[in-house]
Chains A and B, each alone.
Chain A
Amino acid sequence: MATEKDWTHKLATIDPRVIFLLLLISVAAPLLMPFGLPVGISPPTTSTFKFIEGLPSGSLVVSAFDMSAAVAPECYPQVAAFTTHLKNKNLKIIEVAFDSAGPMFADQALRDVFGASKDHPLYGKNFINLGYIAGGEAAMKTFAGNPKVIQKDFYGKDVKDLEIMQPLSSARDFKLLIVISGSQVDNFVRQFGDPHGVPIVGAVTAVLVTRVMPYYPAKVVGYLNGLRGAAEYEQLVKRPGIALAGMDAQSAAHLLVIIFIIVGNVGYIVRKTRRPS
């Protein structure tokens, strides 16, 4: 008969602090000593890559930063990877933020990929950082209806005479909208996808992916699934970075969680079978 102190009870009631410590080790160790597992490319990432590949040179692409600083470790590697692709394809990039932290990451992406942001000679011609618009979905609706409603960029510069803003009359002029978000994509589908027919790509956290899938592939033409999606895209654009480096850690962490689940169930099942009916 199962007793309180026997091994089955210990297996079924492991102290959460032990789990936390082992998880920390399983994430940290592969970052210091990577084992280099190959990373396959999933269909949604391939769809994203192919869609951007198919855009004509000079097409207007909007990167909508709806991300907070908390999701930066997952979403920023995606941003760096696809911004590299947009640069390689000579596409025009309009960066706009619907979260107050967004413009900082938009600026960082320009500096990481182009080498400079507002001081770059092509700023205002090939790319621009419009900064943050407060108001959530109302801001999205306003921007989609008239992108020129923003009069100054993130750096305080007047935008109305900038070359990249000239051809804009509504969201219909965007050939693609890339949503970088940790919270939701539905609002972008409602305000850009449905009324204006803008194709959308989701660069989202892994937990949000289940919310993006119902719209794929009709309204969302592709999506990047968290850090794994970033790692896949880094391979496709041949720019290995922090996401690929993090895949070994993700593997170790997932394996550890599965082991704990199995261990907990072994203890639970054995205790259950020993208990008198």
Chain B
Amino acid sequence: MKLKVPLAITIILVLLQVTDYYLKVPVINTVAANFTVAILVMSAIAVGIGIISLTRIHVRRIVKKRPHSLESAIMLITLAIFILVGAVLGSGDPSYIYMFQNIIVPLDSAMFSLAGFFMASAAYRAFRVRSREAMILLVAAVIVMLGQAPIGEAFWSGFPILSQWILDVPNTGGVRALIMGIAIGMLSLTIRMLMGHEKGYLGTGA
């Protein structure tokens, strides 16, 4: 029963959405659209679950006086301020937007900018000429890097053209094949789920 009911729900909803995509049957299209709207509601609720989980974890850390409980307190105070301002004044209010632009944007951008630094050190470490294939990869990487930045064009006008060719032809061909493979893999996983062979997501007792 613990497996059969969720499985039955999964099968019905998958078949409904697939039928909605392929067939123009008004009743099915309407029912599928309503279920899709239900997903939107569940997604919005999931945001609330995130807030509850975060609050629970960090309050527990503060109460039990675990390490880094000061950071937890700062996090909870910031969360409360954002929720209060957003709920009372609305997220379109200039105050909310000001807080977003001056707290969230710099923090998020700073974290993402680490990717640039880490990519540089990873590239330095990884792009070693250990084999013929590694040499081809290295040359392609250098051409693309020079082609994507104006300095490459300043050295030689052919760099952007070569770089675009590498991206358009071998790279796009490879990515197309990867996308097809991933889609086939997703179909296989879906069939295994529908047949009850993939039960990991159902948790206890499945």
Q: A and B: direct contact (Cβ < 8 Å)?
A: yes
Taking beta carbons and an 8 Å cutoff, which residues of A are in contact with B?
14, 16, 19-20, 23-24, 37-40, 42-43, 68-73, 100-101, 103-104, 107-108, 118, 129, 131, 133-136, 138-139, 141-142, 145-146, 149, 154-156, 186, 195, 206, 209-211, 213-214, 225, 228, 247-248, 250-258, 260-261, 264-265, 268-269
Residue of A70, A107, A252 with most partner-chain B CB within 10 A: A70
Q: Which residues of B contact A261 (CB under 8 A)?
A: 123-124, 127, 138, 141-142
Interface string of B82-111 (1 = CB under 8 A from A): 000000001110000100110011011101
Q: Is B51 at the interface (CB under 8 A from chain A)?
A: no
A155–B96 Cα distance when bound, in Å, is 12
Interface string of B115-147 (1 = CB under 8 A from A): 011001101110111000000001001100110
Interfacial chain A residues near B125, Cβ < 8 Å = 264
Question: Shortest distance in angstroms between A72's beta carbon and chain B's nearest beta carbon?
Answer: 6
A12 to chain B, nearest CB (A): 8
Which range contains the number of B residues in contact with the other chain? 35 or more
**Would you call A213 and B172 a contact (CB within 8 A)?**
yes
Residues of chain A lying within 8 A (CB to CB) of residue B154: 37-38, 251
Contact of A213 among B37, B108, B121, B168 (CB under 8 A): B168
Q: Give CA–CA (A141, B36) in the complex, Å.
A: 8
**Contact status B120-A268, CB under 8 Å:** no
Quick check: is B148 within 8 A (CB to CB) of the other chain? yes
* Contact across chains for A257 and B124 when beta carbons are under 8 A apart: yes
Q: Assess the B167–A264 pair: CB atoms within 8 A.
A: no
* Shortest beta-carbon distance from A175 to chain B in Å: 24
Known: A70-B108, A72-B105, A138-B43. 14 other contacts (CB 8 A): A37-B154, A69-B109, A104-B101, A135-B40, A142-B37, A155-B92, A210-B172, A213-B171, A213-B175, A228-B148, A251-B154, A252-B151, A258-B142, A261-B142
Interchain residue pairs with CB less than 8 A apart (11)? A20-B121, A39-B150, A72-B108, A104-B101, A118-B92, A134-B46, A139-B43, A142-B36, A155-B90, A260-B120, A261-B142
- Chain B residues with CB under 8 Å of A19's CB are 117, 120-121, 124
Tell me, rounded to whole Å, the shortest Cβ–Cβ distance linking B186 to chain A. 11
List the A residue with the shortest CB-CB distance to B109: A73
The B interface, classified by DSSP as helix, strand, loop or mixed, is helix
Counting CB contacts under 8 A, is B79 at the interface? no
B149 touches A251 (CB 8 A): yes
Q: Is B112 an interface residue (CB 8 A)?
A: yes
Which residues from chain A contact B152 at a C-beta distance below 8 Å? 251, 254
Please name the 6 residue pairs, one residue from A and one from B, whose CB atoms are nearest each other, closest first.
Answer: A251-B151, A70-B112, A135-B40, A69-B108, A37-B150, A155-B92
Chain B residues 31 to 63 lying within 8 A of chain A, measured CB to CB, are 33, 36-37, 39-40, 42-44, 46-47
Which residues from B are CB-within-8-Å of A70?
108-109, 111-112
CB-CB nearest in chain B for A140: B36
Q: Are B145 and A210 neighbours in the complex by a CB distance under 8 Å?
A: no
